[in-house]
Structure 1
Amino acid sequence: MKKELMDILACPICKGDLVLNIIEEDEVEIKSGTLYCSQCREYYPVEDGIPNLLPPDIRE
């Protein structure tokens, strides 16, 4: 996931802003981490460079 995506990503539930927590990154992209919505208090994983923005109830 490129950091520039943060300009357009929003919470899929409330459309609020997301906060990025980076766990692993390289020179090009974020490999793993989380996206957090403070309004919904939900976390969305970033795994293998791909943000999973499915609502929590259908994610698994």
Structure 2
Amino acid sequence: MTDTKPSPASDVDPALLEILVCPLTKAPLRYDRAAGELISDAARLAYPIRDGIPIMLPDEARPLDG
């Protein structure tokens, strides 16, 4: 048996990504695999993904630049 550790970005269940929306705008989110974040273009926020779990709290989101 091999011990493989998936990267944090690849931990997110694709089915979960299909149903999540921005909690502020209810708009769809896009997945930024490189940053490990879910992006709300409508709210201009990036929600972090920690240990494969999207943190959908506006207070935890990072504002997007420009």
Cα distance in 2 for partners of 1:48, 1:7 equals 18
Once superposed, what is the RMSD of the aligned Cα atoms?
A: 1.4
Q: Which runs of 5+ in 2 are unaligned?
A: 1-11, 61-66
Aligned residue number for residue 54 of structure 1:
57
- The two structures have a TM-score, normalised by structure 1, of 0.73
**Greater than 3 Å deviation, 4+ residue runs:** none
Aligned residue number for residue 22 of structure 1:
33
Number of paired residues? 49
- The two structures have a TM-score, normalised by structure 2, of 0.67
Q: Which runs of 5+ in 1 are unaligned?
A: 24-31
> Which protein is bigger by CA-based radius of gyration?
2
Deviation of 1:17 after TM superposition, in Å, equals 0.6
Structure whose residues are more often strand by fraction: 1
Deviation of 1:47 after TM superposition, in Å, equals 1.2
Aligned residue number for residue 26 of structure 1:
none
Aligned residue number for residue 8 of structure 1:
19
Identity %: 37
Deviation of 1:6 after TM superposition, in Å, equals 1.6
